[in-house]
Structure 1
Amino acid sequence: MHANSTPVRTAQQRPHEDLARRIERALQSPWQRPIADHTRRAFERAQQWRAGHPGPLVIDAGCGVGLSTRELARHRPDHAVIGVDRSAERLGRDLSRSWGETPENAMLLRADLVDFWRLALAAGWQPQQHYLLYPNPWPKASQLKRRWQGHPILPTLLALGGEFELRSNWRIYVEEFALAIEQVCGMASAVEHWQPPAPLTPFERKYQQSGQSLWRLVCRLPRRERPYGREDT
């Protein structure tokens, strides 16, 4: 089977020249926007669910329709897997006919990731694994601040720790994230060409069937009690 997904189109041919400055700004000025009530309520539900599922935590950030969350849970039956996405429409799709019921050790949660990550860090959550699979690349050079590596939440995201895995069909996105980890955490992270043995998300399947190159970064981040700040780097 072949799909016809087009590769990322952008005039940006290397990591953004403004990336380091945006990261420095995030380290100097922590993100302080008030947390949305709907995400706070969602996180409270997740806390209650975690009380009944105390296994090692896996976070599937930006899980979309939740297929990746299901697959991660099936392959890790002794883990608690939480998929988070802000779209009620995506999370509300019924995949049971094609993919079976959501495993008992998986939870799908509608929440704003920016607020969810802040609440998770404040609550002392320590994910064993943390996935960021095919985030929107926002490929225009003017859209750097929309990419997670250019967003002020980056110091909080990285402070959650655990084995962090990012996948993308745009190599520059992964290269930028590696530079961000090095600037914030002082850790080198390798960017590798990735050939998944079985697609984990619908996007991964589509990109692979379209013959696109896939890229990933995997590193183990130390857990912290608060976001990274300038005094830590």
Structure 2
Amino acid sequence: MQGNSRVPGSAQSDVHAHLAAVVACHVSTAFRKPYADYNRAAFAASFERYQRLAPGVPLILDACCGVGESSVALARAFPTHYVIGVDQSATRLRRGQQRQQARRESRESPEEQGAWPANLDLVRADLVDYWRLLLDAGLRLDRHYLLYPNPWPKIGHLRRRWHGHPVFPALLALGGVLECRSNWPIYIAEHCLAVQQLTGQAAVCEPFVPDLPMTPFERKYLDSGHGLFRTVTHLT
């Protein structure tokens, strides 16, 4: 069945004219937003679990993980890694965990259900703080995923896109293989230019079709016939 999702509509038809200036401003000015107490607590608890359950194991961060479907997929695809899925919505995270519980209680076989991965932790936190707290703790990521972030497609919303946000330099400083996906090619093109400006590394926007959808949004966009785009950067 075809979906009915729409590609983001915008008066912006190309890379934002102010992108380079905004990125330059963010890299030259320290980002001093105070940490929220609940984010400090969430990070501390998740860091303690990581150290207790998988000390030294390579880290994967699934940013804006929503209901955690992509986080589960990543944990199963990378069993020798420890996956942390972060979302600011407790409701979305709870919904994902409830879906998993419902599958356990169904009549599906264990193979069909798929056990909840032992190498997965879902965390409710604001990524603006969580990224910086990871960096403050001296942690590095092996892999880092930004799967279909809110594109904020209005021209005046550039600074709400992750690559236009003052936290972007900290995000890149976490290193690893950074993959970003979107159904709005301008978002990926801007992301690539911001990465190049801040790191000097080439980043390329490419169309792609996943073997299996990793997120509910990816599934909806495929069902709606959207083109999908991604970039993968190996950060030093």
Q: Which TM-score tier does this pair reach, normalised by the shorter chain?
A: over 0.9
Choose the corresponding residue for 1:121, options 119, 128, 135.
135
1:95-132 CA distance string (max 9 Å, x none): 21346553111000000101000000111111100000
The aligned residue for residue 231 of structure 1 is none
Choose the corresponding residue for 2:193, options 161, 165, 179.
179
The aligned residue for residue 154 of structure 1 is 168
The answer to whether residue 192 in structure 2 is matched with residue 190 in structure 1 is no
The separation in 1 between residues aligned to 2:19 and 2:215, in whole angstroms, is 28
The aligned residue for residue 109 of structure 2 is none
The aligned residue for residue 40 of structure 2 is 40
How much is the aligned-residue C-alpha RMSD, in angstroms? 1.0
Q: Which AA in structure 2 matches 1:69?
A: S
Gaps of 5+ in 2: 104-112
| Equivalent pair of 1:85/1:110 in contact (CA under 8 Å) | yes
The separation in 1 between residues aligned to 2:169 and 2:181, in whole angstroms, is 19
The separation in 2 between residues aligned to 1:40 and 1:100, in whole angstroms, is 32
Q: Which AA in structure 2 matches 1:83?
A: G
1:168-213 CA distance string (max 9 Å, x none): 0000000000000111001111110010000000000000110000
Q: Secondary structure at the match of 2:192?
A: helix
Choose the corresponding residue for 2:65, options 56, 63, 66.
63
The aligned residue for residue 226 of structure 1 is none
Q: Which AA in structure 1 matches 2:54?
A: H
The aligned residue for residue 219 of structure 2 is 205
Gaps of 5+ in 1: 223-233
The separation in 2 between residues aligned to 1:76 and 1:179, in whole angstroms, is 29
Q: Which AA in structure 2 matches 1:12?
A: Q
Q: Which runs of 4+ in 1 moved over 3 A?
A: 98-101
The separation in 1 between residues aligned to 2:123 and 2:78, in whole angstroms, is 19
The answer to whether residue 109 in structure 2 is matched with residue 95 in structure 1 is no
Comparing 138-147 with 22-31, greater Cα deviation is found at 22-31
The answer to whether residue 108 in structure 2 is matched with residue 104 in structure 1 is no
Q: Which AA in structure 1 matches 2:12?
A: Q
The separation in 1 between residues aligned to 2:132 and 2:117, in whole angstroms, is 26
The separation in 2 between residues aligned to 1:23 and 1:148, in whole angstroms, is 11
Percent identity over the alignment is 49
Choose the corresponding residue for 2:84, options 82, 85, 97.
82
The structure with the largest helix share of the pair is 2
| Equivalent pair of 1:30/1:153 in contact (CA under 8 Å) | no
The aligned residue for residue 9 of structure 1 is 9
The separation in 1 between residues aligned to 2:69 and 2:197, in whole angstroms, is 33
The separation in 1 between residues aligned to 2:139 and 2:87, in whole angstroms, is 18
The separation in 1 between residues aligned to 2:131 and 2:186, in whole angstroms, is 24
The answer to whether residue 234 in structure 2 is matched with residue 220 in structure 1 is yes
Q: Secondary structure at the match of 1:163?
A: strand
